[in-house]
Amino acid sequence: MHIDLYERFWMWSAGAICAAFFGTIVYGLVSEGTRPPSHVETIDPTAVWSDPRFAQPGVTANPDGSVTVTAVALMFAFQPNEIRVPAGKPVTFRLTSPDVVHGFEIVGTNANTMVIPGYVAQFTTTFATPGEYLMVCHEYCGLGHHAMMGKLIVEEAL
């Protein structure tokens, strides 16, 4: 098969670009441990409120200074809808839904996850800048979807 010289050059370049993307991902993986977000844990969506893991949504401080936020996303609110966390400390969010699929996003940060009934979403992040953040649902969940919101307050660490 005959391939034109310029086209050969182009194909090698395209291959190099793909390889560079590849390399970036591998580099992040190896040096920073940046893996795709994931957490595998199931829960009965019809019994969220009586499940010990979610019976008392809120913020718990851990001995090592990090905090865990347990929250329920439901039609059409977050429970709790105001969350206070310290700046500069790892914050682990744990979320689930007792009804349909929801999303969870803290606007202006990379805190972002799907919230799927039957599963527990969990991720850890750190907020550097104190202030008030907007917390929204980013997956269509019914007629009140655009009103499903809350507030995250990042406080100066003591």
Partner 1 sequence: MTTARRLAAANIGFAVAAFGIAAGMALMQAVSRANLELPWRSPQMYYLSVTAHGVLMALVFTTFFIMGLGVVFTTHALDRPLRWPRLAWASFWVALVGTLAALWAIFWGKATVLYTFYPPMQAHPAFYLGLTLLVVGSWIWSAVIIATYRAWRAEHRETPAPLAVFGMLATIVVWLISTVGVAAEMLLQLIPWSLGWTKTVDPLLARMLFWYFGHPLVYFWLLPAYVVWYTVLPKVSGGKLFSDPLGRMVFALFILLSTPVGFHHQFMDPGISSGWKLLHTFNTLGIIFPSFVTAFTVVASLEIAGRSRGATGWFDWLGKLPWGDPLVSSVLLSMLLFAVGGFGGAINASYGMNSMIHNTAWVQGHFHLTVGSAVALTFMGTAYWLVPKLVRRELELSLLAKVQPYLWFAGMLLFSISNHITGLMGMPRRIYDPSYQGSAIAEAWGGLTGLSALGGLFLFISSAFFLLVMLGTVLAGRPTADTTVAFAEPLEGQPAKRILFDRLGLWIVAAIVLVLIAYAYPLAQHLQMPRFGSPGFRPF
Pick from 53, 62, 142, 155 the residue near partner 1 by CB under 8 A: 142
Q: How far is the CB of 149 from Cu ion (least distance, A)?
A: 10
Provide the sign of the torsion angle of the four alpha carbons 157, 79, 92, 106, taken in this order.
Answer: negative
Q: Is 133 helix (H, G, I), strand (E, B) or coil?
A: strand
CA distance 150 to 158: 24
Look up residue 125 and give its two tokens.
């992040």
110 binds partner 1 (CB under 8 A): yes
Task: Rank residues 21 and 49 by Cβ distance to partner 1 and give the closer one.
Answer: 21
CA distance 25 to 122: 22
Amino acid residing at 148: M
Q: Per CB under 5 A, which of residues 116..155 are in contact with Cu ion?
A: 137, 141, 145, 148
Q: How far is the CB of 148 from Cu ion (least distance, A)?
A: 5
Task: Rank residues 66 and 125 by Cβ distance to partner 1 and give the closer one.
Answer: 125
Q: Select from 55-63, 64-72, 80-88, 129-137 the region that touches partner 1 (CB under 8 A).
A: 129-137
Q: How far is the CB of 80 from Cu ion (least distance, A)?
A: 17
Q: Per CB under 8 A, which of residues 77..96 are in contact with partner 1?
A: none
Provide the sign of the torsion angle of the four alpha carbons 44, 73, 155, 91, taken in this order.
Answer: positive
Phi (first) and psi of residue 85, to 5 degrees:
-135, 155
- In this structure, the strands spanning 67-74 and 77-79 are antiparallel
What is the number of other CB atoms lying within 10 angstroms of the CB of residue 111? 19
- For the window 55-74, what string marks contact with partner 1 as x by the rule CB under 8 A? --------------------
Q: How far is the CB of 5 from Cu ion (least distance, A)?
A: 34
Residues that bind Cu ion (CB under 5 A): 137, 141, 145, 148
